[in-house]
Structure 1
Amino acid sequence: MAVTLPAVVEELLSEMAAAVRETARIPDEHLSSLKFIFGSSAIQALDLVDRQSITLISSPSGRHIYQVLGSSGKTYTCMASCHYCSCPAFAFSVLRKSESLLCKHLLAVYLSQVMRTCQQLSVSDKQLTDMLLIEKKQEA
């Protein structure tokens, strides 16, 4: 079973994607809705997208992850398929306290998909596995 975002977020992202396909821009009302739902994280996520900080890394086996260069200069690993980010804010605000739906990095991933601005990098299966293992060692 696929993990999904709350319906209101799924609908907003879908409407934003449709608007980008039709007009190549996101309407102001969608941006206002984004800010209403996510607060200041929305602005921070849009800034990450504007700075082209999101990279989709894929391997020949079809596995993929996103890496987001955060505003602090640290790179975080995000997995959109299960709504996960390796940043401390995700662990604290999303998982532990349930104060937020997403961290700014994961929201930036979804917005970069909507806006079609994601950098892309193809790596071998071993390289992708090594990236994930290095990330895990850094967290420990």
Structure 2
Amino acid sequence: AAGSPAVMLPAMVVEELLSEMAPAVRESAHLPDEHLLLLKFVFGSSALQALDVVDRQSITLISSPSGRHVYQVLGSSGKTYTCLASCHYCSCPAFAFSVLRKSDSLLCKHLSAVYLSQVMGTCQQLSVSDKQLTDILFMKKKQEA
């Protein structure tokens, strides 16, 4: 329980920022300058990279009938990373190093891009069976091992 406030901080910061951005994006179909500055402040150097990922439409929300879902993000290197927005996790090396190990970032560019794509409505959508979703996650795990 001692670590839970630290775990909750990224969630609270991200959710607050995105809830402020959503109405402006719906109204004007783009991010106002003040929100771009907030993104840079909260996400740091990964903000512009995350926006680039969103612009390239490299994010796919994969859903199954059971209600489970994951995001897959095609990174600039050509690798696909699995993001779990519900628990603020990405399978990329930058997340493991900068977020988990060094704690010098709240999120990696892939996870930041997932949150931005949710607000901007730019996610690709893919529906799969529960077994297919399990296979996607299992195959990803095997490739990382």
Same fold, TM exceeding 0.5? yes
11, 28, 34: which is aligned to 2:33? 28
For 2:95, the equivalent position in structure 1 comes to 90
CA RMSD of aligned residues (A): 1.5
The one-letter code sitting in structure 1 at the alignment partner of 2:99 is: V
Q: Which moved more, 1:57-66 or 1:31-40?
A: 31-40
Indicate whether 1:112 and 2:117 are aligned: yes
Q: Which runs of 5+ in 1 are unaligned?
A: none
Q: Across the two proteins, how many residue pairs are aligned to each other?
A: 139
Runs of 4+ with >4 A deviation: none
Name the TM-score, length of structure 2 as normaliser: 0.91
User: Unaligned regions of 5+ residues in structure 2, if any?
Assistant: none
Q: Deviation of residue 55 (structure 1)?
A: 0.2
* 1:129 corresponds to which of 134, 139, 142: 134
Q: C-alpha distance in 1, partners of 2:14/2:126?
A: 27
Matches within 5 A, 1:50-65: 50-65=55-70
Give the structure-1-normalised TM-score. Answer: 0.94
Cα offset, 1:89, TM superposition: 0.4
Please identify, of 33-42 and 108-117, the stretch whose mean Cα deviation from structure 2 is larger.
33-42
* Conserved? CA contact 2:44–2:105, under 8 Å: no
Deviations 1:59-86 (A, max 9, x none): 0111000000000000000000000000
Alignment of 1:3-22 (within 5 A): 4=8, 5-22=10-27
